[in-house]
Amino acid sequence: MTIRNKLVLSVTIVIVAMVASVALASHRAADVSVERTSALIVGEERQVADAAARVVAASAGGVDLVDVRPALNGLGRWLLVSSEPAVVAASEAELVDARVVEDASGGLLVSFVHHHEGREESEELLLRPSDLTLDVHGHGTSALYLLPGAPVIPEGVVRELVASTNTWTLVTLLTVGLVGLASIVVWMRRLVAPVDALTLAVAAFERGDDDVQADENTGAPEIDALGRAFNDMVTTRAATDTLRRALVSDVAHELRSPLTNLRCQVDAVQDGVRPAEEALAILDTQLADLERLVGDLDALARADAGALDLELEVVDVSDAVHGFLAAEPTTADVTVDISDGAVVVADALRFRQVIGNVVRNADVYAASAIEVHVSTDDDVTLITVADDGPGVPREHRQRVFERFHRVDSSRTRSTGGSGLGLAIVRRLVLAHGGSVRLGEASNGGALVEIRWPRP
């Protein structure tokens, strides 16, 4: 899951939890309010019933009609009905004219008209049979019915209920807010922990720790991608440093041998051990080797920096191959097979350098023969140079294009060249948009295959 999705999920969970908690708190507060209100109503109804029972008990010897209302005052809405049935007395004037009818279940159906906001409205009530009776002089035994009405809850109780509800809601909001804040802090610490770890790895790498590695399995795709990129960078720099150290060592080695030979020849001439003319011939050969080494290093440096000045033109492959063979004869016999019209788009000097390096390298390892074959396709010219030497083991075929790499590490410049020839070939071919690979010839020798763009 991405960091963005985790943040959205955490915020959503907190919001949902807050809403749900507030809803539950409000529901609980409402339940408490209803319970307390119901208790108040039930308690008030019980008090009214008890008061009515006391009035009835006090009037056991009978009561005059004029004394009925004062006696029943404070009982809310009530109705006194004779056995006929007919209304004897009532708590309200509009109930006095009510029509009463006995119900089949023994109850009493009361119908009356009352005024509400200037309008007359009809109302019917079905009252349960009453156990409360009064002996009213002149009306006989009459049943006392207590009518349902809107009980009045004291204002203090209402304020208490509102305060209780507000307290529940406030406490819930504070609790959920604190829990949500703590959850977000925990989530954020978990989210930024991989970033902190990567920051520490970068700092260690900056201090020179080339063995540091970042975690690539943090669970956050973005951080994992950064970790992989960082580890690749560390690996690449380590490999580059290794190559750099090897390059410095190899260059020093390659320069040391000819320079030592030069010093020996000069000392021999100065000591009168070797004639000057003989020494000059050897010095000339050593200087030529040094010039070639420096030229190879310069070509590689320019290719690496993308600073090669290529003057592209159409080059005849046959002219380039035969021109090199004529200028620099080989030890092995060379067989040339070139298709008619084989041309490439290249810098002529660099193309001849590629051909020369490949043929020269084949001549070092060939037992007796080299085959140069050139064919054309729609968009490329295929150049292959094969020898009948020992070939190159598979594990070395890619590395032979690296600087100073020799298949046999014991080889020296005299037996294996400087180790720069094929590295230069690869750089120059790639600079022209082509490709090069090393394979195995049919006779077991080495096969260099070059694909070069056609015009």
Chain centroid to CA 249: how far? 44
Using CA atoms, how far apart are residues 122 and 111, in angstroms rounded to an integer? 7
Collapsing DSSP to helix, strand or coil, 312 comes out as strand
Q: Which of 105-119, 164-178, 246-260, 421-435 has maximum average pLDDT? A: 421-435
Res. 6: pLDDT tops 60: yes
Residue among 292, 243, 327 at smallest CA distance from 413? 292
Chain centroid to CA 103: how far? 77
Residue among 431, 434, 436, 450 at smallest CA distance from 310? 431
227 vs 139 pLDDT, higher one:
227
Beta bridge partners of 99: 111
With bands split at pLDDT 50, 70 and 90, how would you rate the model's confidence at 412? very low
Using CA atoms, how far apart are residues 151 and 139, in angstroms rounded to an integer? 31
Collapsing DSSP to helix, strand or coil, 444 comes out as coil
What is the chain's mean pLDDT, rounded? Answer: 78
Using CA atoms, how far apart are residues 169 and 175, in angstroms rounded to an integer? 10
Sign of the torsion angle spanned by Cα atoms 392, 398, 404, 410? negative
The predicted pLDDT at position 50 comes to 65
Amino acid at 401: F
Res. 358: pLDDT tops 90: yes
Amino acid at 269: V
With bands split at pLDDT 50, 70 and 90, how would you rate the model's confidence at 415? very low
**Average pLDDT estimate for 381-393:** 92
**Average pLDDT estimate for 141-169:** 67
Res. 116: pLDDT tops 90: no
User: Which listed CATH number (3.40.50.2300, 3.50.50.60, 1.10.287.3510, 3.30.565.10) goes with 309-453?
Assistant: 3.30.565.10
User: Is 134:59 a contact under the CB 8 Å cutoff?
Assistant: yes
Using CA atoms, how far apart are residues 429 and 451, in angstroms rounded to an integer? 8
With bands split at pLDDT 50, 70 and 90, how would you rate the model's confidence at 410? very low
Residue among 284, 291, 297 at smallest CA distance from 250? 297
Q: Which of 42-46, 87-91, 162-166, 231-235 has maximum average pLDDT? A: 231-235
For domain 221-295, give the CATH number. Answer: 1.10.287
Which residues of the chain form CATH 3.30.565.10?
309-453
Which residues of the chain form CATH 1.10.287?
221-295
In the chain, pLDDT over 90 holds for what percent of residues?
17
249 vs 348 pLDDT, higher one:
348
* pLDDT tens per residue across span 64-108: 777 777 777 766 778 788 888 888 888 887 888 888 888 877 788
- φ and ψ at 123, to 5 degrees? -140, 140
With bands split at pLDDT 50, 70 and 90, how would you rate the model's confidence at 158? low
Res. 215: pLDDT tops 80: yes
**Average pLDDT estimate for 196-225:** 82
Helix axes 3-58, 155-206, angle to 10 degrees: 170
What residues contact 268, with CB distance under 8 A and at least 6 apart? 274, 279
389 vs 12 pLDDT, higher one:
389
Sign of the torsion angle spanned by Cα atoms 89, 94, 100, 103? negative
249 vs 107 pLDDT, higher one:
107
Residue among 421, 428, 420, 418 at smallest CA distance from 450? 428
313 vs 122 pLDDT, higher one:
313
In the chain, pLDDT over 70 holds for what percent of residues?
77
* pLDDT tens per residue across span 255-310: 776 788 788 888 888 888 888 888 888 888 778 778 877 777 777 777 766 667 78
What does the DSSP assignment read for 191-254? HHHHHHHHHHHHHHHHTT-TT----S-SS-HHHHHHHHHHHHHHHHHHHHHHHHHHHHHHHHHH
* pLDDT tens per residue across span 329-343: 899 999 999 999 899
Res. 411: pLDDT tops 50: no
**Average pLDDT estimate for 144-157:** 61
